[in-house]
A and B are shown apart, each in its own frame.
Chain A
Amino acid sequence: MKMAILGMEYRNIRKISNLKMSFVDSTGNVINNNFIMMANGTGKTTTITLLKGLLDGKATRWEASEVKSFAPTINKADTGEFNITVKFDDRQYKYFLYLNYKLGIATIKTTTTEIGGLEDGLHLPDSLKNIFTSEFVSRFIFDGEQAKKTMDSSSNEAEETIKYLYRLDKLDDIIANNQRILTEIQDVEGAKGSKSSLSNLRTRQENVLKVIEKLKERAKKLKNSIKEFQDEQDSKIAQRDELDKNYKELNEEKQKIIKEQEYNKSAIDVQISEILNLMKSPYLISEKFNERMYELASSMTELKLPKTISREFFVELANAKRCVCGREIKEKEQKFIIINAEKYLGSDQQAVLNAIKSSLKSNSYDSRLNDAYIQLKKLCEEANRLQTRLNNNAEKLLKAGGEEALKLGERIKELDKKIVVAKSKLETIESRDESNEELTEDNNIHKAELIYKDYDQRIAKATRTNIALYKKEVVESLILDIKESAAIELKKEIIYKTNKKLRKVIKDDDIEIEEIDKYIKLRGRDGASEGQTLGIAYCFLGTLFKDAELEFPFIIDSPTGKMDFDKRQAVADIIPEAFNQMIAFVQSAEVEHFADRFYDKPDTQFLTIIASSQGDDVEIHEGIKFFDSYQRDNKGDEL
């Protein structure tokens, strides 16, 4: 499935009374690279908001105040309209977003080449139904915030993007279809037997399913809450850090203590591991303990020979003609040897005891473990001292920062508690620990799923459809294996290709993706600069979109952001390769080393939207000439 945007139209929206942008050439072919320079206040951010709201359908749920905020500033029109024409493979769809400023209501309508008339709501091709969520739409209507999310540890953005773009959700459809077939068979077979018992089992199974769905929904909400709490906490910490900067000396001391704490923590870790290692030698635990072990060894009875092995020796000796000492062995000596042999025979464990005895005696105490304990104690005392210093410093900073810093500090602590509580609730829902008795089918998804499967078996038995159940399980298990293996293989390939691109984009730093597990994890570092983050996101998305099952346009607001010139050039080479169509809303500062890299490329158009010289409206200028001269004249004007 290939998606391209053919055009956009605005009517009575903020400073625009009428504006039309086309992304097709004179022969009707889609133009691949589109650069739209919009001067400040001409509607760049507005366009991105309208596009997202229209394509994820959320515009219909906008607050009245938000709808009214799009009201024109140049006339008193009561309604506005934004529409886009989209092509999915060979089928054309036109989506309308109607804005009623008087009532504060937004409505969406669709028309297609097949239907002709306008239909309520957003109608997408069947194969795209259910995937145009706001998260998904944000992956191809892109801004810097989305880039940050791919590396945000509290988000599963990277994993979700892979799932949708490679359509691994199609495998879930097979599982659902498979279940439907089994249910149909069981309905037919169940009708032949006792209807009430089948219906009873079904009801109970459905109830378990409802609990599973409820728990999944609860887990989703908890994850969202955790993310919101963490976002708010990050922002509050940033605000507090900003305040702290005003108090240079205190802040420098704070940073020094934090560094010392980090050093102290790693020293404690090393010491603990050393102690654990030394504790494997018990004679080092204490001098007294070692002495007692030596006494134990000494007081052990004298060495005896293992009974089962050595009895034979005495029997043979008794039967021999002469003793080992040379004396003749007669009947009397023979009896004596057999009777007294018992004195020299111990149990079979004797050999082991001898080994222990020898081991106990051979080791001697030294002070290594004791020294290590003393050192650990010192480090722990140092940790306490550092924490006290940090607390005092925080108090001073709070006092210096006044009421605001105090409030921020309290809120950060409060959010900490909320995060801990939400994470613990989430752990209860998602744990797979079958031995934990506190987990039940009412509070844990895994346990509820086990009960659900048990009902599968009981229903199959009641309807004599064990074979159908077996076949359903064969298909389900293969599909789950494919889903898991495909995700693993795709991630490996994505990491490899993204890292290859990254080496071209970020040449001045050693940045590499180590793993994709819900989000992108970098090797040996926790984060990257703003420009680097944007570069990583483009390389990642570029790899994903290029090999994905679905081909999308890439609509970007301020694509280069705070990127330096080197990275811009590299990104300019990656994007056209990865996306089927690019629509970039740029500022004049982004032309150099980015948009200008496309000046000689065919299949590229340049549009400049500026305030009209006739009044408050906007006007559109096509072509490189105006685009280039406008950027030269206005570079640095943007906020």
Chain B
Amino acid sequence: MRNKIIEMTIDSVIDASEHLPEFKASFKKYIKNVFDNNTGKNDLKRVLSLIEEEEDEV
């Protein structure tokens, strides 16, 4: 990513969220890849699969 402010914002917002570390790492990478035009068709689906499922939703 060329812009460091956007990159840092992506990191700080996602790091501050209460989700699994695997999801956080993949989601950060995915967003940065979107900015670099470097994403595949199923990348977001893979990221979504890493989100923990809420107990009352199961």
Which A residues lie at the B interface, using CB under 8 A? 1, 126-127, 166-168, 170-171, 173-174, 177-178, 181, 466-468, 470-472, 474-475, 478-479, 481-482, 485-486, 489-490, 493, 547-549
Contacts and interface: CB of A to CB of B under 8 A. Distances in A.
Contact of A474 (B2, B19, B35): B19
A461 to B, nearest CB: 11
Contacts, number: 76
Contacts of A168: 6
A178 B58 CA distance: 21
A178 B51 contact: no
A638 B4 CA distance: 45
A335 to B, nearest CB: 67
Given A174-B44, A470-B54, A471-B51, A478 B14 contact: yes
Contact of A174 (B19, B34, B37): B34
Contacts of A493: 5
A37 to B, nearest CB: 34
B3 A181 contact: no
B3 A166 contact: yes
23 contacts: A167-B35, A170-B34, A171-B31, A173-B34, A174-B31, A178-B48, A181-B44, A467-B58, A470-B51, A474-B51, A475-B27, A478-B13, A478-B14, A478-B17, A479-B31, A482-B14, A482-B31, A486-B10, A489-B5, A493-B5, A548-B2, A548-B3, A549-B6
Among B2, B5, B17, chain A packs the most CB atoms within 10 A around the CB of B5
B50 to A, nearest CB: 9
Interface of B: 1-3, 5-6, 8-10, 12-14, 17, 19, 27, 31, 34-35, 37, 44-45, 47-48, 51, 53-54, 57-58
A463 to B, nearest CB: 13
Contacts of A489: 5, 8-9
A547 B3 contact: yes
A178 B44 contact: yes
A466 B57 CA distance: 7
A161 to B, nearest CB: 14
B2 A478 contact: no
B5 A486 contact: yes
Contacts of B51: 470-471, 474-475
B48 A471 contact: yes
Contacts of B10: 482, 486
Given A466-B57, A468-B48, A490-B6, 20 more contacts: A126-B37, A127-B37, A168-B6, A174-B34, A177-B44, A470-B51, A475-B27, A475-B47, A475-B48, A475-B51, A478-B14, A482-B31, A485-B13, A489-B5, A489-B9, A490-B3, A548-B3, A549-B1, A549-B3, A549-B6
B35 A467 contact: no
Contact of B6 (A166, A178, A466, A467): A166
A466 B1 CA distance: 34
B45 to A, nearest CB: 6
B9 A485 contact: yes
A517 B54 CA distance: 38
Contacts of B6: 166, 168, 486, 490, 549
Nearest to B58: A467
A470 B57 contact: yes
A95 B20 CA distance: 49
Contacts of B31: 171, 174, 479, 482
Nearest to B8: A489
A490 B5 contact: yes
B58 to A, nearest CB: 7
Nearest to B49: A471
B38 to A, nearest CB: 10
B2 A470 contact: no
B3 A467 contact: no
A486 B44 contact: no
A171 B13 CA distance: 14
A374 B33 CA distance: 69
A472 B45 CA distance: 10
B13 A482 contact: yes
